[in-house]
């Protein structure tokens, strides 16, 4: 027992001596090698680089390969350079997506469009734009009139067109309508799919951070004032223009369903024209809203039409203070029946257009009264195009 213990101790003593010797030797070797490397490197650096770039070049020297000899002032930071060429996080495409043909689903699109910056100051010179959103079944026969209206005001507006899927809008490369078609879905008039299309237009337009006002238009709409007047009127307004009124008759309250309780009470129910103008704030709310959209999709079925009740009711319930409760799109219901009057070539006269621009009535605008109540009008047939173009400069001033 003792012997074995002694051997062990002896053995232990011998090995500790060896280890100590090795440690001293390795320290010496490391020290000498270190001194040599240090001297060689500092000499190299001193020969080639000045003091300011010393650390940078030293790192650079060791990261660059032997095949490409290092040259002064040309750091080989390949990762940073390739990212710079592609611009992985370009502000330009973030602020104003120029390719409207995206592959997002409605769900993805509405989520992106619902984002509102928490920081109020923009990091760029933001010139507010008006988004003109056209909901059409196909061609835009009055496009030449609109092209004339837009001419010369490039940075102040943007155009979005919702068509039937598969239809390709024919616009020349210089037209403001060129490549402004958004990914569209089928729409059945009078159903919730109409609200879906409106939300799709709003969401695509919201992706452009300069859009401040959002106007819904159809293929039979025309402008009745020139662009500067329309722009000033909409951008300067304290309120949005969503018609919202209480109609006690069968076409108003008559379309309310008690199944909408407890979300919507009868006294909150409102009616209004589909053709709206929204501020950016209200547009973002509409693409984000789920609860009342769901109620309307379930219980507002013909003869209830969601496009005439969803926004008027929702804004009345929650955002009445931001709404003027009137529309800026003129229409003629005087003939009666389910559809408004359509005006063709024979009906277009100077007096008629002047009467839409100013019929003697006054409308509230911010804190004042104004004779300009309507900026747009419907419905106009394709045959109205030529006479309207003839009147454009003398009556509509564009």
Ligand X SMILES: *[C@@H]1O[C@H](CO)[C@@H](O)[C@H](O)[C@H]1NC(C)=O
List contacts with ligand X (CB under 6 A).
Answer: 99, 101-103, 170, 172, 238-239, 244, 316, 320-321, 323-325, 341, 343-344, 346-347, 366-367
CB of 139 to ligand X, least distance (A): 8
Judged by CB, which is closer to ligand X: 102, or 126?
102
CB of 181 to ligand X, least distance (A): 12
Which contacts (CB < 8 Å, 24+ apart) does range 292-297 have? 292/263, 292/264, 292/317, 293/192, 293/195, 295/260, 295/263, 295/264, 296/192, 296/195, 297/192, 297/195
Judged by CB, which is closer to ligand X: 157, or 239?
239
Judged by CB, which is closer to ligand X: 103, or 337?
103
Are the C-beta atoms of 59 and 45 separated by less than 8 Å? no
3-state secondary structure of 178: coil
Q: What is the DSSP letter of 343?
A: B
CB of 172 to ligand X, least distance (A): 5
Judged by CB, which is closer to ligand X: 54, or 147?
147
Judged by CB, which is closer to ligand X: 44, or 102?
102
**Rounded to whole angstroms, how far apart are CA atoms 104 and 102?**
6
**Using CA atoms in the order 291, 297, 302, 308, what is the torsion angle rounded to 10 degrees?**
50
Q: What is the DSSP letter of 18?
A: H
CB of 170 to ligand X, least distance (A): 4
Cα 344 to Cα 134, 219, 365, 378, 384: the distances in Å are 20, 14, 31, 11, 5
CB of 167 to ligand X, least distance (A): 11
CB of 69 to ligand X, least distance (A): 41
**What's the token pair of residue 23?**
């440690």
Judged by CB, which is closer to ligand X: 293, or 365?
365
Tell me which H or E stretch contains 329.
strand 329-330
Measured from each CB, the residue nearest to ligand X is 320
């Amino acid at each position: 027992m003792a012997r074995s213990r002694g051997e062990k101790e002896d053995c232990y003593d011998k090995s500790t001596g060896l280890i100590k010797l090795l440690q001293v030797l390795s320290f010496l070797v490391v020290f000498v090698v270190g001194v040599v490397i240090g001297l060689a490197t500092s000499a190299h650096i001193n020969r080639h680089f000045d003091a300011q770039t010393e650390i940078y070049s030293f790192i650079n020297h060791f990261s660059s390969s032997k095949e490409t000899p290092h040259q002064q002032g040309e750091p080989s930071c390949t990762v940073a350079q390739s990212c710079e060429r592609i611009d992985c996080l370009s502000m330009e495409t973030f602020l104003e997506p120029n390719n409207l043909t995206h592959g997002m689903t409605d769900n993805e699109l509405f989520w992106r469009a619902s984002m509102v910056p928490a920081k109020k100051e923009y990091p760029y010179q933001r010139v507010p734009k008006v988004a003109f959103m056209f909901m059409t079944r196909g061609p835009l026969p009055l496009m030449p009139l609109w092209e004339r209206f837009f001419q010369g005001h490039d940075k102040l507006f943007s155009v979005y067109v919702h068509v039937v899927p598969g239809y390709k809008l024919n616009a020349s490369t210089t037209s403001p309508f060129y490549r402004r078609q958004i990914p569209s879905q089928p729409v059945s008039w009078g159903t919730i799919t109409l609200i879906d299309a409106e939300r799709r237009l709003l969401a695509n337009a919201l992706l452009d951070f300069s859009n401040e006002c959002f106007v819904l238009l159809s293929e039979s709409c025309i402008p009745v004032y020139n662009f500067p007047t329309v722009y000033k009127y909409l951008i300067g307004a304290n309120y949005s223009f969503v018609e919202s009124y209480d109609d006690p008759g069968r076409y108003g309250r008559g379309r309310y369903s008690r199944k909408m309780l407890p979300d919507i009470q009868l006294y909150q129910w409102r009616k209004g024209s589909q053709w709206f103008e929204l501020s950016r704030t209200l547009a973002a709310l509409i693409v984000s809203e789920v609860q009342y959209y769901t109620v309307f999709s379930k219980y507002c079925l013909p003869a209830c039409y969601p496009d005439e009740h969803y926004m008027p009711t929702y804004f009345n319930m929650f955002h009445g203070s931001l709404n003027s409760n009137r529309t800026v799109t003129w229409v003629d219901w005087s003939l009666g029946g389910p559809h408004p009057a359509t005006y063709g070539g024979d009906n277009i006269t100077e007096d008629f257009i002047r009467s839409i621009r100013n019929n003697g009535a006054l409308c509230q605008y911010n804190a004042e009264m104004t004779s300009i109540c309507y900026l747009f009008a419907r419905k106009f047939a394709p045959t109205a195009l030529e006479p309207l173009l003839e009147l454009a400069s003398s009556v509509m001033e564009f």
